[in-house]
């Protein structure tokens, strides 16, 4: 069936030469290209992961800064509202005091005018009483 003549070793040598030639010409450059591509992908993947981690860290920092800025602005708003309420309450109190003082002043003026009117009425009553007495009793009896 099989003849073991000189062609078998020649075929084996041709096969080994072809394998060595393919290894040098085709497989080594292909393996090198595949390894380089693998390294490139691995480096890009690591770089992307680093950039993603940095981006997430920056995002977290920015969110914390934003939250702090919101807290500060809310505190400022609350302080401004409290100040406005204090000023409003102070103005209301001042207005109430002014109104009270004006009421008291008006009451004093009314009381003073009332006293003046009473004195004037007393004088008029005295004068009218004298006139009535003079008419009834006569002028000479009243003056004594």
pLDDT, tens digit, 9 for 90 and up, residues 110-135: 999 999 999 999 999 888 888 888 88
Residue 124 lies in a domain: no
**pLDDT, the chain, mean:** 90
Q: Using 50, 70 and 90 to split pLDDT, how confident is the model at 11?
A: confident
Q: What was the pLDDT predicted at 8?
A: 78
Residue 88 lies in a domain: yes
Residues 6+ apart with CB under 8 A from 130: 142
Q: Is the pLDDT of residue 63 over 90?
A: yes
Residues 6+ apart with CB under 8 A from 42: none
Residue 12 lies in a domain: yes
Residue 98 lies in a domain: yes
Residue 37 lies in a domain: yes
Q: Which two tokens stand for residue 38?
A: 């693998």
Q: Domain count of the chain?
A: 1
pLDDT in tens, 24-59: 888 898 999 999 999 999 999 999 999 999 999 999
Residue 126 lies in a domain: no
Residue 119 lies in a domain: no
Q: Is 23 helix (H, G, I), strand (E, B) or coil?
A: helix
Which range marks the domain in which residue 31 is found?
A: 7-104
Q: Is the pLDDT of residue 142 over 70?
A: no
Dihedral sign from CA coordinates of 46, 48, 49, 55: positive
Confidence (pTM): 0.47
Which helix or strand (DSSP H or E) is residue 53 part of?
Answer: helix 28-137
Q: What was the pLDDT predicted at 136?
A: 81
Phi, psi of 13 (to 5 degrees): -65, -45
Residue 29 lies in a domain: yes
Q: Which two tokens stand for residue 99?
A: 């109104």
What percent of the chain stands above pLDDT 90? Answer: 68
């Amino acid at each position: 069936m099989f003849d073991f003549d000189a062609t078998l070793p020649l075929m084996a040598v041709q096969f080994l030469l072809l394998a060595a030639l393919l290894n040098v010409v085709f497989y080594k450059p292909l393996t090198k290209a595949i390894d380089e591509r693998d390294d490139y992908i691995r480096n890009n993947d690591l770089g992307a992961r680093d950039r993603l981690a940095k981006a997430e860290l920056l995002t977290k920092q920015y969110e914390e800064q934003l939250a702090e800025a919101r807290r500060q602005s809310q505190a400022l708003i609350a302080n401004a509202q409290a100040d406005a309420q204090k000023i409003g309450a102070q103005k209301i109190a001042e207005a109430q005091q002014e109104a009270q003082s004006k009421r008291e002043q008006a009451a004093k003026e009314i009381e003073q005018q009332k006293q003046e009117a009473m004195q004037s009425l007393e004088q008029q009553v005295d004068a009218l009483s004298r006139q009535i007495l003079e008419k009834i009793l006569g002028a000479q009896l009243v003056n004594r």
